[in-house]
Structure 1
């Protein structure tokens, strides 16, 4: 995973007149059935090469060959990949991600880090506090990986008295030490939040410890508690990550279901949403899309006009608008996502129940619009 410092270094990179090839590839196994990342890369290169001439094409070929050679030597890891290459200036950086990225290619005087910045902006950072009455382990999880971890132990006297100390007094001493320990955990979480701001907080451990910790959290952190779950304080990092991702997926699915319901509620004549493949592609062509919503499982070929950029589902020989020969696309849905991002819109891929609902009502494609539109609302399934 790229760190913020590495992203800033890429932003500041000076190619001194050369060009940088920036490659983003979707490696999600679920997307490789009909369209592998290698085919996606070749299609992106072909489209880019058609826009270049002379020496620029030769320079592109050099960088493409370098990336292809590297890809041949790699077993894909995770769900996404970013590569930056500039042979004349000695730049090479490749990072795998535990989350999906959108297929994208750029050959510019500077590294194209815009997709990375969008990734950082779109994903939420989770903090996890795994506690018992004397130990604590604090994690941050971002982009599907553990970023940071710290652990500590405080002295807490046992629950059973020793010598002549009364049971009640000894129990109060024990409870006071537990309180001090959990208060320290809350303070360390506040420090962590100042250093590496997180969006949601998960409390994990025995119920007695997590209940007391939640009670002593500062209000700003208490509002961020997304889940309280049982866990052993000695659980492995893999177990902690899996539990965190399970909570994250649940929250994401709930958000996606709300989004699809919003699409359905707002769609209609003069509405601020649209449903259906052809109407949504028409809205993209008109630059009306604020948020494109795509069902994860949908695939389908399509056509794109290289002249006016109109998108159509299926194979269309000539553009219905300008008459130019249409270019065939292996995956019209993926191209729609790229187009939405190019237009400064956002993309939401939905799964599970939200995915099934969107397929039923709109063939797997819909959008929230920047403003009400007269685009026809008939769904094309």
Structure 2
């Protein structure tokens, strides 16, 4: 399998087939939505059926069969929420890119791989700095593309029996003062290492796990760039195994995703309310897409409606069968929302599928922030 990097995307984008089309398949395999392997296979079956219907029998059969065989053979879903598969059997071209984030399921047949969603993943996926520490130990990671990387560890030993009272109060106080100085030195050192890692790799968010009594001191030692990126506290402990840390950070990542979606929906609500660069509801959103004015398309997860598409000019609407632009007989669509997402992606729009966002549901379950 291919690891997603900018170089890998450039290599994919450079491939051209002169003898046969390239099939690009993006498949959502998120375990929260598709719990069983059978659920994923059923989802793929629907996608393949829609593709065959849309292309009216002119599909690259061998490529679709190879994609189907790959998915049915099973793959590691423990760290994969999306798949990007590229196939041109006739030219011996085959690439599978597992992704730690969801993708919008679609199949594109063209002369070159459709890498738009991959580029969006790289651009939008935020790295998270992870700092775990107690009075003696610190562990620092960067969470990137679903994995914990760039691991640094510190261990700065305190005096033995530092938490036990000595023979006299005066001696105990001196010892405790010394311990607190060493602890502060350790926390300052850990914050400096975290900032050095930030300078080297960069990350958009920071999460910390530290005893409650140490958190104010830790925060005070953070560089201002890190303080402004602080998003959440973890509760796994400095000695937690990597898998436990990873699961906890994934939960934080999902919370960040929901917060980003909520911010976009709020922007949409304000734009619609002011009548300035925002539309909501299916009819107005489809019209904006046809006019190529959409910058960000927002859709509630699971939303679908029947509709129509003009094969001549591409006009999308809920009511047919005659195109209101040129009078052509339009094609009936089982899901015009799905078609709208495809159109948006082809126009290089940003697409956000929002999960459990009541405000977007009130707006009609679909809307768009506009370029103009």
Residue aligned with 2:213, SS: helix
**Structure 1 counterpart of 2:48:** 41
Q: Per the alignment, do residues 368 and 5 of structure 1 end up closer, same or farther by CA in structure 2, a change over 3 Å counting?
A: closer
**Structure 2 counterpart of 1:61:** 61
TM-score normalised by the chain length of structure 2:
0.83
**Which one of 81, 93, 96 corresponds to residue 94 of structure 1?**
96
**Quick check: 23-32 or 11-20, which moved more?**
11-20
Q: Is the CA contact 1:207–1:230 (under 8 Å) kept in the aligned structure 2?
A: no
What stretches of structure 1 move > 6 A for 4+ residues in a row? 161-165
Instruction: After TM superposition, give the deviation of residue 79 of structure 1 in Å.
Output: 3.0
**Structure 2 counterpart of 1:263:** 268
Instruction: After TM superposition, give the deviation of residue 368 of structure 1 in Å.
Output: 1.3
**Which one of 321, 324, 331 corresponds to residue 327 of structure 1?**
331
User: Does 1:336 pair with 2:340?
Assistant: yes
**Structure 2 counterpart of 1:124:** 126
Residue aligned with 2:313, SS: coil
**Structure 1 counterpart of 2:230:** 225
Q: Per the alignment, do residues 72 and 277 of structure 1 end up closer, same or farther by CA in structure 2, a change over 3 Å counting?
A: same
Instruction: After TM superposition, give the deviation of residue 214 of structure 1 in Å.
Output: 1.5
Instruction: After TM superposition, give the deviation of residue 360 of structure 1 in Å.
Output: 2.2
Which deviations, in whole Å up to 9, do the C-alpha atoms of 1:116-147 show, x marking residues without a partner? 11111122221111111111222322455444
Distance 2:194 2:236 in 1: 18
**Quick check: 216-225 or 258-267, which moved more?**
258-267
**Quick check: 37-46 or 289-298, which moved more?**
37-46
**Structure 1 counterpart of 2:202:** 197
Q: Which runs of 5+ in 1 are unaligned?
A: 372-381
Task: Report matched runs for 1:305-324 at 5 Å.
Answer: 305-313=310-318, 316-324=320-328
User: Does 1:115 pair with 2:120?
Assistant: no
**Structure 2 counterpart of 1:377:** none
Residue aligned with 1:129, SS: strand
Q: Is the CA contact 1:205–1:232 (under 8 Å) kept in the aligned structure 2?
A: yes
Residue aligned with 1:36, SS: helix
**Structure 2 counterpart of 1:10:** 11
Q: Per the alignment, do residues 251 and 323 of structure 1 end up closer, same or farther by CA in structure 2, a change over 3 Å counting?
A: same
CA RMSD of aligned residues (A): 3.2
**Which one of 236, 245, 253 corresponds to residue 241 of structure 2?**
236
Residue aligned with 1:252, SS: helix
Which deviations, in whole Å up to 9, do the C-alpha atoms of 1:172-210 show, x marking residues without a partner? 322222223222222221232233221000111211333
Q: Per the alignment, do residues 72 and 242 of structure 1 end up closer, same or farther by CA in structure 2, a change over 3 Å counting?
A: closer
Distance 1:226 1:333 in 2: 34
Distance 2:94 2:332 in 1: 32
**Structure 1 counterpart of 2:218:** 213
Instruction: After TM superposition, give the deviation of residue 161 of structure 1 in Å.
Output: 7.1
Q: Is the CA contact 2:236–2:244 (under 8 Å) kept in the aligned structure 1?
A: no
Which deviations, in whole Å up to 9, do the C-alpha atoms of 1:64-112 show, x marking residues without a partner? 3322222232268343211122445544322333321122334455433
**Structure 2 counterpart of 1:24:** 26
Q: Which runs of 5+ in 2 are unaligned?
A: none
Residue aligned with 2:237, SS: coil
Instruction: After TM superposition, give the deviation of residue 297 of structure 1 in Å.
Output: 3.2
Which deviations, in whole Å up to 9, do the C-alpha atoms of 1:216-265 show, x marking residues without a partner? 11121121111234431122334323332333333433443343333233
